[in-house]
Amino acid sequence: MAAINFGYTISQPRAIDIDRNNLRKSDEILREMPELQTCIGCGSCTASCTAGNLTEFNFRKVHTLVRRGEYQGAYEELNKCMLCGKCRLVCPRGINTRGVILLIKRKLGDF
């Protein structure tokens, strides 16, 4: 039986709830590449990003969400990356951003 449409929907909470999120994958990622933790959120990676220029792709946001245990949609987002490596050239913290992207995809890919 099809659900009756009452004309409203239920919004899911937008809050990141660290108590509910499973941080195991995030911990594994940070253990393998602790340099990701040194991100200071400057946004150079996103500013220089070819994919970000054409789509809503925002590497800084995606990896920050992954570090908080918000994995939903991260893998698909990272598929927009063309691995050109410009972000790595501009990162003031010297983070191997391309390595981070490949690592997150590897960790989340087996979901």
Q: Tell me if residue 22 falls in helix, strand or coil.
A: coil
Amino acid (one-letter) located at 69: G
107: contact with another protein by CB under 8 A: no
Q: How many residues bind another protein (CB under 8 A)?
A: 21
Matching residue, tokens 């994919």: 51
Rounded to whole angstroms, the Cα distance separating 32 from 37 reads 11
Which member of 46, 50, 70, 86 binds another protein (CB under 8 A)?
70
**Measured between alpha carbons, how far is residue 57 from residues 6, 48, 103 in Å?**
35, 12, 17
Stretch of 4-12, 46-54, 65-73, 76-84 lying at the interface with another protein (CB under 8 A): 65-73
> What is the closest distance, in whole angstroms, from the C-beta atom of residue 12 to another protein in the complex?
12
| Residue 29 DSSP one-character state | H
Which member of 24, 72, 79, 93 binds another protein (CB under 8 A)?
93
Binding site for another protein (CB under 8 A): 14-19, 30, 34-35, 37-38, 40-41, 60-61, 64-65, 67-68, 70, 93
